[in-house]
């Protein structure tokens, strides 16, 4: 209920007549993408009642498997704003995010993420299985130990690799890019 109150608060802070129903905007962006041959996902990033970046999923158009709506919109917002921390942002997405996008959402530190449908609800209409996962089990795959995952991960530890980190620490004094 608190989130609903905050949402309507955002709606009242609208600049000159433009719709600030950001959920509807996200759905419309995805709907248009589907009509244009794209996949049914979109992301809208809002800070202080203003859209700072938005994108549909462009995997079908670009053949880039990382061109998910969240990845593209977060990249655009952060590049545009000159920060890797989207503090104060509300991020609207069409569905509960895939693990790749969930990771990107953790990395950019938004205030909140609003998803507009569930994977369970849309799985009747849309599925995206790959060589190493079925859509429904991808989160479970991530919770396994690295050597139990279906993706062949191979450890080959070299001291020279660690040396790169040591050098970074020497140059940067252990500074961490925290929000």
Residues at the interface with Zn ion (CB under 5 A): 68, 98, 100-101
Let me know how long the chain is: 179
Distance from C-alpha of 172 to C-alpha of 102, rounded to nearest angstrom: 28
Distance from C-alpha of 94 to C-alpha of 114, rounded to nearest angstrom: 8
Distance from C-alpha of 70 to C-alpha of 68, rounded to nearest angstrom: 6
Closer by beta carbon to Zn ion, 39 or else 68:
68
Q: How far is CA 161 from the centre of its chain?
A: 29
Closer by beta carbon to Zn ion, 20 or else 67:
67
Closer by beta carbon to Zn ion, 123 or else 172:
123
Q: How far is CA 50 from the centre of its chain?
A: 18
CB of 126: closest distance to Zn ion in angstroms? Answer: 13
CB of 107: closest distance to Zn ion in angstroms? Answer: 13
CB of 170: closest distance to Zn ion in angstroms? Answer: 36
Q: Which residues are catalytic?
A: 70
């Amino acid at each position: 209920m608190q989130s609903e109150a905050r949402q309507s608060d955002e709606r009242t802070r609208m600049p000159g007549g433009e719709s600030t129903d950001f959920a509807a905007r996200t759905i419309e962006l995805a709907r248009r993408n589907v009509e244009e041959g794209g996949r049914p996902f979109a992301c809208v990033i809002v800070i202080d009642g203003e859209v700072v970046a938005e994108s549909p999923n462009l995997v079908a158009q670009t053949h880039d498997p990382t061109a998910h709506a969240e990845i593209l919109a977060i990249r655009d917002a952060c590049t545009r704003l000159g920060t890797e921390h989207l503090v104060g942002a509300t991020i609207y997405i069409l569905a509960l995010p895939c693990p790749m996008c969930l990771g990107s959402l953790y990395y950019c530190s938004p205030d909140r993420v609003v998803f507009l449908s569930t994977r369970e609800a849309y799985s009747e209409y849309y599925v995206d299985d790959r060589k190493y996962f079925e859509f429904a089990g991808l989160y479970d795959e991530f919770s396994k130990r690295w050597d139990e995952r279906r993706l062949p991960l191979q450890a080959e530890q070299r001291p020279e690799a660690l040396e790169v980190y040591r050098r970074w620490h020497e140059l940067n004094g252990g500074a961490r890019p925290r929000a």
